[in-house]
Amino acid sequence: MLKEKIAARGLPALMRMNDGRAVKTPDDWRARRKELIELLSREEYGFTPAAPDKVSGDIETSADAFAGKAVQQTVRLSFDTPKGPFSFPITLVVPKAVKKAPVFVCVAFRPNVPDTGLPAEEIVDHGFAIANIFYKDVTDDSAVPDGLAALYPRDEKTGWGKIGMWAFASSRVLDYLETREDIDHTRAAVIGHSRLGKTALWCGAQDERFSLVISNDSGCSGAAISRGKVGESVDRIAHVFPFWFCGNYQAWRGRDEEAPFDPPMLLALVAPRKLYVCSAEEDSWADPESEFLGCVAASEAWTIHRVPGLITPDELPRVGEPLMDGGICYHVRAGSHFLSRTDWLYHMACRERFGV
């Protein structure tokens, strides 16, 4: 049943090199991975500039939080760009009960910690640290080329869009976390919701240091297959939010069937690490079924590494029954478009169970 549903979407070949050769081994995959990053950079998100040599962090404030169970800090991260230094603040919360805490790098809609969509005390109680980035501290969510956008040359067709910039900043947070003794940077997850779920995916696709990549309700141009998708389309997203993408993405408006790429390629770039895709039952704009089928279609990139991708019965998923056993995890929870405590409890259960 799922096989037929995937076949009906007419996806471009994931496991074939550009020259038509089949991708059969993990070594082949390394080469295919490069092609896919090139393709998605050129046609959708834009090319990401090279990482800076060094990211430094100045601790601006530090205080006990959550009844003294954690330390909460404001840290200003700085690095050099082609047009001078850039800095942005993050909020870091580190539980005291853990020597080296695994961390959630949260690319977030608000700077507040805790916040709606970020049950910080509960996360601390599970032994996880939080590094929260307020996305507009990196660059505005508009066509305005401020912040990071002003500091790199940008090609009109292939230069990075805002999703690429927020993703790049999330990687710079991990650069900094690698310098901290109290963080287990080998267990770093990048997580985002909606447009920031797209961001988390593009970040984790490129940056293999993240051991877990979590997309919450990312939908169009995120986890959901574009071909045959309901709700939001590439045509519409590229029209309303052109600045999230590179200039070339405009050429694919209304041409899903012809595009040489589709979101399962983005998901596949996380292989063989752990990927967690989350949907909400009422979120028809994002299209839960297309998000789920995206995971099924991407699974081949895991099986080539002898890791099962999404382990699922041959049927559409049931609400509130997460699938966590494979390299790809998926759940659809009850309710609407939101990063909910319910989602967090599943993410943490997954991390605890698999040590990611």
Contact residues for ligand GCU, defined by CB under 6 A: 194-195, 219-220, 232, 237, 285
What is the number of other CB atoms lying within 10 angstroms of the CB of residue 55?
A: 20
CB of 195 to ligand GCU, least distance (A): 3
Give φ, ψ of 84 to 5 degrees: 115, 180
Please say which residue, 103 or 339, places its beta carbon nearer to ligand GCU: 339
The DSSP element (H or E) to which 131 belongs, if any, is strand 129-134
Please say which residue, 149 or 280, places its beta carbon nearer to ligand GCU: 280
The closest alpha carbon to 216, from 170, 274, 276, 161, belongs to 276
CB of 117 to ligand GCU, least distance (A): 11
291 by DSSP, 3-state: which? helix
CB 257 within 8 A of CB 10: yes
Please say which residue, 211 or 216, places its beta carbon nearer to ligand GCU: 216
Q: How many CA atoms lie within 13 Å of 348's alpha carbon, on the beta-carbon side?
A: 21
Please say which residue, 131 or 220, places its beta carbon nearer to ligand GCU: 220
CB of 111 to ligand GCU, least distance (A): 17
In this structure, the strands spanning 129-134 and 183-193 are unpaired
CB of 342 to ligand GCU, least distance (A): 18
Question: Cα separations (Å) of 203 from 38, 146, 209?
Answer: 14, 20, 10
CB of 312 to ligand GCU, least distance (A): 24
Please say which residue, 66 or 166, places its beta carbon nearer to ligand GCU: 166
